[in-house]
Amino acid sequence: MDAAEFDRFADEYHLMHEKSVAITGEKPEFFHEYKIKVLVRLAQQRDLRPKSILDFGSGIGNSTPFFRRDFPAAQLASADVSQRSLDLAESRFPGMAAGLRIEDSRIPAKGDTFGIAFSACVFHHIPHEEHVSWLRELRRVTRTGGMLAIFEHNPLNPLTVRTVNQCPFDENARLIKAKEFVARCRESGWKDPKAQYHLFFPHALSGLRTLEPYLSGIPFGGQYSVTAIKSD
């Protein structure tokens, strides 16, 4: 991951994101909150009550207030290659998360630390040949019995592809299909990886969003999640 690239975009990230998602009729905060609400459900499905959570590729901290609201008892660590992003996150949400600067392909945390390793739309910025090594690193810092929860853009959804192509921050992005990401989770040692699809309806059809949990097996949602467990 290129720290200089993310430092360059840190100050303008929110505005760029807002412009790129305008076609959906939603503000960026909707998507950050949405993922954490889904994460709560995914953790419940796995019967997990995490005492600590890692936000891998946390950027400027957009998920932080929703973590604090929905996982109030959990300690939160925000990890990123961009020191500028970590500094902005701390200024926006002081004291809500411990900032961890990722260097030399390593997360600066001891093994078996976190109950959930979470990442939101980060892996499409990582070269695909490095996915397995980063998934192994996330497995290292996750406790036995803990959960991996990765959210990514779905390349099978035309609106998602259009949004990514229009966002300067995603100029070097390479999307990955859910089934391929599931295979990489298995290769890196995670157990029982499962994919679910999300974000089927734009704002104009928001009244139908209560149906989305029932559509999670249909591979056309705007994004998908992959969860897996560290078994030993």
SS (H, E, C) the chain: CCHHHHHHHHCCHHHHHHHHCHHHCCCHHHHHHHHHHHHHHHHHHCCCCCCEEEEECCCCCCCHHHHHHHCCCCEEEEEECCHHHHHHHHHHCCCCCEEEECECCECCCCCCCEEEEEEECCHHHCCHHHHHHHHHHHHHHEEEEEEEEEEEECCCCHHHHHHHHHCHHHCCCCCCCHHHHHHHHHHCCCEEEEEEEECCCCHHHHHHHHHHHHHCCCCCCCEEEEEEECCC
| Domain extent listing, the chain | 3-229
* pLDDT (tens digit per residue) in 76-125: 999 999 999 999 999 999 999 999 999 999 999 999 999 999 999 999 99
Q: What is the pLDDT of residues 134-174, one digit of tens each?
A: 999 999 999 999 999 999 999 999 989 988 887 766 778 89
Domain 3-229 superfamily per CATH: Vaccinia Virus protein VP39 (3.40.50.150)
Does pTM surpass 0.95?
A: no
